[in-house]
Structure formats: C-alpha cells, structure tokens
Chains A and B, each alone.
Chain A
Amino acid sequence: MSAPDSTERAMLPLRFEGVGLDRNGRTLLHDLTFEISAGGVTVILGPNGAGKSLTLRLAHGLLGPTRGQVAWECPTEAARRDSALLFQHPVLLRRSARANVGYALALRGVPRARRTSLAQTALAAMGLSAVADQPAQRLSGGERQRLALARAQALSPRVLFLDEPASALDPAATEVLEAAILSLRDSGTKVILTTHDLAQARRMADDILLLHRGRLIERSPAAAFFTAPATETAQQFLDRRLSS
C-alpha cells in the first residue's frame, strides 16, 4: 500500500524545544525539550494528568504551544499529512466501517477508484473484513479501536500517534490491538504512544519519555528505564508510588 501523496523527505526527528502550554491561567506543560527519532515505538509514560495527551496533540499539531516550538525535520504541513492520531475513545462517523476508512482517504484526496481497495486492504489487515459493511457505531469496543487504527493505517502514515489506545479494552482486545500496532512498527511506521499502563509500556516501548505534572522527568531506552531508572520519580512510578 503506497502512501497517498506523501513526501519522501525525512520527517523525523521531531523536536520539542522549550515547549510550554498554558490554559485558563494554568501552566499545564513546562519547558519540554526532547527529540524523537525515526523507528521503533516511543512511549510517553506517566500517571493521569501528567500531560501525555497534550504532548501528543502538540506533536500532531492539534494544539499550538504557548512557548517554545515543535519542529519536524520536514515542513509542518507535510508532517501533518504524513502522520495520524488514534484517540483514546475512537470517534467514528455514522456510516459503515468501510465508509469510515473511505472518508479519511477522501479527505486526503485519494481518488474514489482507489479508496475502495485501500479501505479493503486496511480493514483486512485489522481483521475487520467481515464487519466492513456494518455500521461503525454497532461494533464492539475492540473492533471500534481497530477500525480507528485501520482508518489511520489506510493513510499510510509515517508517524502514528496513539493516545492511550487500549485504556478501554479488555485484555484480549488489547492483545489484538498491540499486535496490530507492532505490525505497523515492523513495516516502518514510527509509533508514538501514550499510556499510564506500565505493563503495556514494557511490552511495547523501545524508548520511554516519563512525564509528571507537565514536566519531562526522564528520557531513556526502555530496557534501561525499567531496570535502572535514573530518577527517584521514575523509580516511584515503577513502584506504583507516584500519584498524579
């Protein structure tokens, strides 16, 4: 499956340079500075209220920073087109599963003739061929999340953002979803995922960004983070002693 009108120029690294975010007089994110490189799964980890989802929205361009800048290697517009975001609670349109995927492709200017085959391929990759013509609203939670992933995958994103994608799923549905995400990673898509679930982070992460109360606490390769965290806060989080 080829990317619809994607730029061949490198997108990554993605750089956060002194990024801060204020809302209603409160500072929600403080001076975030880090870089995310190509390849693998980067997990943004932290307890509830750490600022994970806001960081993801800033990265995807849904929010603009109050201070600092979010910079891609390529022009921001191209980065927006070549990335996709999967929300914690997938928002699906009141139409069939296939039409939901087709709609996303139409927004990216994919010709109608190609949409059907691209949608079919994406649905098949997520094991949703059997429910392609069913109303999206009637799918189970796991199917809905996989449909949202199929919709994102159909756009052939080079970077895929996932905001706590399995938080509302049972263990079986989580396993299926994680396998699909890792399969995307293996096909070359950069995955950036937020979670507060340590077990999921252990299963998925190649590297970790730990956020707490809007600040970046630690940035480490996953193996190092879980075996020898560099900060006391990270150790508290691993010991489940860190509250929001």
Chain B
Amino acid sequence: MAVFESFQTALRLILAGDAELVGIVWLSLRVTGTALFVSAALGLPAGGLLGVLSFPGRRAVVTLVNALMGLPPVVVGLAVYLLLSRQGPLGEWGLLFTPEAMMIAQTALILPIVIALTTQATEDLWGDLGEQLQSLGASRLRAIPTLLYETRVTLVTVLLAGLGRALAEVGAVQIVGGNLRGLTRTMTTTIALETSRGELALALGLGLVLMVLAVTINGAAELLRGRAQHVRT
C-alpha cells in the first residue's frame, strides 16, 4: 500500500513539475550531456586514429583503452577526487563537489568506451575500404572522416552505450559531487539516497523519469539510425 501511495505521489510530483525534481533531472541531463559531447568530440577522432594508423605501441594503447572501459565507476570517482581534491594536482581549480567535477568523472567513464568501440569499428572498416580509399588517393589520415561517416550507424550505438553508462552511474558522481542538495544531486544519487531513507516518492518519480528518458533517447536514436541509413545524395 505504501508503495502504491508513493507511486501516486511520484506521479503528482512529475505532473506538477516539482521544482526539486525538475532541478535534479535538468542537472543530470546537463552533466551527462556535457560528458557525452566531450567524449564524442575527443573519442570519435581518437578512435579513428587508433583504428587506422599504425605506430609502435599501438596494440598496447588499444589494450589499455579496452581495459579502461571496464573500470568500476567508484575507482574513476576516486581518481578524479584525488585529482581535484585540495591537495591534488588540480586542487586549485576548486572544482570538487561541483557539477563540473561530475562532468569530468563521467567523461572519464565514457571516453574509453567511445574510443575503444570506435577503434574497433574503424579498424574493421579500414580492412574493407582501405585499399579502395588509398587507390582513390586518400591518405590514412584523410580516410578517418570517411570511415567515421561510413560507420555512423554503429557510432550512434556507441554513443548510446556511453550515454547509458553515464545516466545509470552512481558511484563516481557521488564521490566527486558529494550529492549536495540543490547543487550536485543527480537522478541516480537521489534515488539511492531517498530509497535508503525510506522516502520512496521522489525516488520513484525520478525512476520513472529515468525510464522515460531511456526509452525516449533510444527511440530517437533508432529514428536517427534509420535516417543515417538513408544515403547522402
């Protein structure tokens, strides 16, 4: 019964546009969106370079990036915490317990995923297209934008994987953000906190929003993939 009432309250919070709930959702989207954007901007070209170029130590770099994909979020959170803490190398920036710190932590989580999966996609495609592109006069460097464009459908999925990891993540943002009310409280950290306190209404409301977001983003990505399949004339 208590769950049913909490569910009703959660729906009321959503429909009424509760200021705290909206603020938390907005902050989560801002943090994750920024992290995804930075990861895409850095990770897609870096993945393209790793996929196509050959240089001494390349295999070691690819192995390292692959290993970083599986890092536990709390470990990433701890590393970023140490980096940004007052005694850390970037302590004077004063970013700890701010949304920017959470963006950095989420970028550190997503970036290896984007780089590793882009590397794999472009490496495979280079195997198929490389000779043809070279025969048309493309250098390996010049071929990278072409390969990224040709793998665009796969890359949408890559970015979705990164988005999913960031949106669902709790540990890293909690460590570097501090879960401060009105400042660094995201959907997932709030859900964890409110549930531990037995306050299910806000947790359920945010859970619903998170699910709707996940479905909407995946639906939009599916549409985008469909359009990406369409050719450029």
Contact = CB atoms under 8 A, between A and B. Distances in A.
Interface in A58-108: 60, 62, 80-81, 84-85, 87, 90-91, 93-96, 98-99, 103-104, 107-108
Nearest to B143: A107
Interface in B111-135: 128-129, 131-132, 134-135
Contacts of A193: none
Contact of A96 (B137, B146, B229, B233): B233
A94 B136 CA distance: 16
A136 interface: yes
Contact of A84 (B129, B135, B150, B231): B135
A107 B136 contact: yes
A82 to B, nearest CB: 11
Interface in B37-58: none
A108 B231 CA distance: 22
B131 A62 contact: yes
B231 A99 contact: yes
Contacts of B134: 62
A147 B129 CA distance: 16
A interface, over-half SS = mixed
Contacts of A80: 137
B interface, over-half SS = helix
Nearest to A91: B132
Given A91-B129, A103-B146, A107-B142, A62 B135 contact: yes
A133 interface: yes
B232 interface: yes
Nearest to A108: B137
A141 interface: no
B138 interface: yes
A127 interface: no
A40 interface: no
A18 interface: no
A135 interface: yes
A104 B233 contact: no
Interface string A148-182: 00010001000000000000000000000000000
Scoring B138, B150, B231, B233 by chain A CB atoms within 10 A of each residue's CB, the highest score goes to B231
Contacts of B138: 107
B8 to A, nearest CB: 49
Contacts of A98: 233
A95 B137 contact: no
A94 B134 CA distance: 17
Given A62-B134, A104-B136, A107-B136, A95 B128 contact: no
B78 to A, nearest CB: 43
A85 B233 contact: no
Interface in B148-186: 150
B137 A107 contact: yes
Contacts of A133: 233
B231 A135 contact: yes
Contacts of A84: 135-136
Contacts of B137: 80-81, 104, 107-108
Nearest to A161: B135
Contacts of A108: 136-137
Contact of B233 (A62, A99, A107): A99
Interface of B: 128-129, 131-132, 134-138, 142, 146, 150, 229-233
29 contacts: A57-B131, A60-B135, A62-B131, A62-B134, A81-B137, A87-B131, A90-B132, A91-B128, A91-B129, A93-B129, A94-B150, A94-B229, A95-B231, A96-B232, A96-B233, A98-B233, A99-B231, A99-B233, A104-B136, A107-B136, A107-B137, A107-B138, A107-B142, A108-B136, A108-B137, A134-B231, A135-B231, A136-B231, A155-B136
Given A91-B131, A99-B233, A103-B146, 6 more contacts: A87-B135, A95-B233, A96-B233, A99-B232, A108-B137, A155-B136
